[in-house]
Amino acid sequence: MKRIGIQQIIDHVAEMCIEANTFLSADMVEGLRRAKGSEESENGKEILETMLCNFEVAKNKNIPICQDTGMVVMFVSFGQDLIIAGGSLEEALQAGVAKGYEEGYLRKSVVADPFIRTNTGNNTPAVIHYQVVPGDRLKIKILPKGFGSENTSALKMLKPSDGMAGVKEFVLQTVETGSPNACAPIVVGVGVGGTMEKAAIMAKEALSRPLGKHNPLEHIEALEDYLLEASNALGIGPMGLGGVNTVLGVNVEVFPTHIAGLPVAVNISCYVNRHVEREL
Amino acid sequence: MAVVEIKTPLSKKERKKLRSGDHVRISGIIYTARDAAHKRMMESLEKGLDLPMDFTDELIYYVGPCPARPGEIIGSAGPTTSGRMDIYTPELLDRRLAGMIGKGNRSERVINSMMSNDAVYFACVGGAGALLQDCIKSVEIIAYEDLGTEAIRKIEVEDFPAIVVIDTLGNNLYETERKKFTKKLSI
């Protein structure tokens, strides 16, 4: 049976936290370049240029793109034939986050209790979603999630009769209210179906799907196209200061649901939509 | 695009000259404060205590910077969402605060208070933390050091880029610009 030592996991997670916060993935940079090319607003063009320039500065100075280096969300896919040697997987993942945030000079933004609000000092705990799969691989996906955009996210339990039209209306409403505060152009992750928490988790993971890659289901791809066009017709634009690029991409995921329900979750990410993935 | 150079402290007379949509470069001293620092300042006022500083004609920058790398004075330092401070802002405007730098919309209550106090709201590009760090020339913590990134810092900036979003007359760029680009759907 394959074995992975916990130190290896700690080191990988630490590196991934730093990498995600310092370098933006190619799909996001390309998306912003395209937006700059199509932007009609003078303010919008200048803002997009500033954003692209900021990526270069962050890369060259090896500092975070944005000061909100997020609360870490992880999607861990754990092969059932794999053995974790030397300690607990959960503790290793959390220790990796603490190491990465310390060594990378990343901001520690996590408070221990939502009411008492004392900073934990090392950006842990991360929110970790596990999935057990066949095989002997460990796949770790890391999304450091900034809260300017997280705060604009929303969930609604629609009725089956609300259907496609209800989903469209709720997503567009969330985009319209949220995008000026969420550092537009945003990426919109949508989860439809399942239960309340399933919809929310799908919406979160949808943010990590590369820009321009559609849902393979034809009617969902059409929904993604509609939501993208309708969002960009709102006129909100980069940083909410007007323009035709409010949303860079809409990624929708679906799951079977109950006969009585139509849960919809909308998770918003700013244009610094950070996601890195490694397989050990 | 014309750029207006402004220096802090910012007098009422200077504030009144600024118009929604102006691109500015700010130089001089500004003060950082976000959620926790605002909450603590309000608690001081409720207890009848003084604020840690006199805000007359000063600007507050809503930011919680990253830690500084060795050899640097501060880490990435872009704006945070201003709306979370809406509940606290009028109290500070009534104490002669000149304006705020952040991102995102403000409440009607804040805008009314800005108009009666001749205050200005600037936005800078969210997420551009690495670029804005370059404009910061000195940093000194002046209050609430235990709040870490949320402590009140006195920072000196040079050519700090921002846009006037809400001016002393209440003109709001979020509303005026959006209308120009709203389109009818083709599908």
- A222 and A269, same domain (yes or no): yes
Residues in chain A closer than 8 A to B65 (CB atoms): 67, 107
Q: Is residue B176 situated within a structural domain?
A: yes
- A107 and A165, same domain (yes or no): no
Q: Is residue B28 situated within a structural domain?
A: yes
Nearest-CA distance A175 → chain B (Å) = 14
Q: Is residue A104 situated within a structural domain?
A: yes
pLDDT at B187: 55
Q: Is residue A44 situated within a structural domain?
A: no
What is the token pair recorded at A266?
């909308």
Q: What are phi and psi of A183, to 5 degrees?
A: 60, 65
- A113 and A158, same domain (yes or no): no
**In one letter, which amino acid is A6?**
I
Check whether the bond before B52 is cis (ω within 30° of 0). Answer: no
Mean pLDDT for chain A overall:
97
Nearest-CA distance B86 → chain A (Å) = 13
Average pLDDT rounded to a whole number, residues A252-270? 98
**Cβ-defined contact of B104 to A240 (cutoff 8 Å):** yes
- In chain A, the number of structural domains is 2
Report the candidate in B100, B77, B80 with the shortest Cα–Cα distance to residue A147: B80
Average pLDDT rounded to a whole number, residues A185-195? 98
Which tens digits make up the pLDDT trace of B169-178?
Answer: 999 999 999 9
**Cβ-defined contact of B125 to A54 (cutoff 8 Å):** yes
Given A99, A130, A145, which residue is the final one in a domain? Answer: A145
Give, for B26, the enclosing helix (H) or strand (E): strand B23-32
Q: Is residue B30 situated within a structural domain?
A: yes
Q: Is residue B154 situated within a structural domain?
A: yes
Mean pLDDT for chain B overall:
96
**Cβ-defined contact of B173 to A242 (cutoff 8 Å):** yes
pLDDT at A158: 98
Which tens digits make up the pLDDT trace of B76-108?
Answer: 999 999 999 999 999 999 999 999 999 999 999
d(CA B176, CA A176) in angstroms, rounded, equals: 15
- In chain B, the number of structural domains is 1
Q: How far is CA B169 from CA B10, B120, B162, B166, in A?
A: 16, 9, 18, 8
Confirm or reject contact between A112 and chain B (CB < 8 A).
no
- A180 and A270, same domain (yes or no): yes
Beta bridge pairs of residue A249: A187
Q: Is residue B187 situated within a structural domain?
A: no
Residue B186, pLDDT above cutoff 70? no
% residues pLDDT > 70 (chain A): 100
Q: Which of B34, B38, B103, B106 is catalytic?
A: B38
Which tens digits make up the pLDDT trace of A191-246?
Answer: 999 999 999 999 999 999 999 999 999 999 999 999 999 999 999 999 999 999 99
Given A121, A145, A169, which residue is the final one in a domain? Answer: A145
Confirm or reject contact between B3 and chain A (CB < 8 A).
no
Residue A153, pLDDT above cutoff 70? yes
- A156 and A75, same domain (yes or no): no
Confidence of residue A137 (pLDDT cuts 50, 70, 90): very high
Q: Is residue A263 situated within a structural domain?
A: yes
Q: Is residue A191 situated within a structural domain?
A: yes
- Residue A122: give its domain's CATH number: 3.30.360
**Cβ-defined contact of B66 to A54 (cutoff 8 Å):** no
Residue A42, pLDDT above cutoff 70? yes
Confirm or reject contact between B52 and chain A (CB < 8 A).
no
- A81 and A162, same domain (yes or no): no
Q: Tokens 């700010």 label which residue?
A: B26
- Whole domain around residue A139: which residue ranges? 3-19+65-145
Q: Is residue A78 situated within a structural domain?
A: yes
Q: Is residue A130 situated within a structural domain?
A: yes
For residue B53, the SS3 value is coil
DSSP notation for chain A: --EEEHHHHHHHHHHHHHHHHHS--HHHHHHHHHHHHH---HHHHHHHHHHHHHHHHHHHHT--SSS---EEEEEEEEETT-EEESS-HHHHHHHHHHHHHHHTT-----BSSTTT--B-SS-PPPEEEEEEESSS-EEEEEEEE-HHHHTT-EEEEE-GGGHHHHHHHHHHHHHHHHTTTTTSSEEEEEEEEE-HHHHHHHHHHHTTSPTTPPPSSHHHHHHHHHHHHHHHTT---GGGSS-S-SEEEEEEEEEEE-TT-EEEEEEEE-S----EEEE-
Which tens digits make up the pLDDT trace of A116-131?
Answer: 999 999 999 999 999 9
Return the residue in A38, A67, A119 with the most chain B beta carbons within 10 A, the one to mutate for interface testing: A67
pLDDT at A1: 85
**Cβ-defined contact of B180 to A235 (cutoff 8 Å):** yes
- A158 and A269, same domain (yes or no): yes
What is the token pair recorded at A132?
């057990």
Average pLDDT rounded to a whole number, residues B179-187? 83
- A122 and A221, same domain (yes or no): no
Q: Is residue B186 situated within a structural domain?
A: no
Q: What are phi and psi of A140, to 5 degrees?
A: -120, 125
Given A145, A170, A192, which residue is the final one in a domain? Answer: A145
Residues in chain B closer than 8 A to A46 (CB atoms): 1, 23
- A154 and A224, same domain (yes or no): yes
Which tens digits make up the pLDDT trace of B46-84?
Answer: 999 999 999 999 999 999 999 999 999 999 999 999 999
- A269 and A170, same domain (yes or no): yes
d(CA A245, CA A184) in angstroms, rounded, equals: 8
- Residue B116: give its domain's CATH number: 3.20.130.10
Report the candidate in A262, A239, A59, A234 with the shortest Cα–Cα distance to residue A156: A262
B181 vs A46, A47, A243: nearest CB: A243
- A125 and A204, same domain (yes or no): no
- A106 and A160, same domain (yes or no): no
Catalytic site includes residue B23: no
Q: Is residue B185 situated within a structural domain?
A: no
Nearest-CA distance B122 → chain A (Å) = 12
Q: Is residue B9 situated within a structural domain?
A: yes
Report the candidate in A156, A184, A160 with the shortest Cα–Cα distance to residue A170: A156
- Whole domain around residue B152: which residue ranges? 3-180
d(CA A9, CA A133) in angstroms, rounded, equals: 18
**Cβ-defined contact of A236 to B178 (cutoff 8 Å):** yes
Query: Among all residues of chain A, which has the CA nearest to that of B181?
Result: A235
d(CA A250, CA A181) in angstroms, rounded, equals: 18
A272 vs B83, B127, B178: nearest CB: B127
Query: Among all residues of chain B, which has the CA nearest to that of A106?
Result: B66
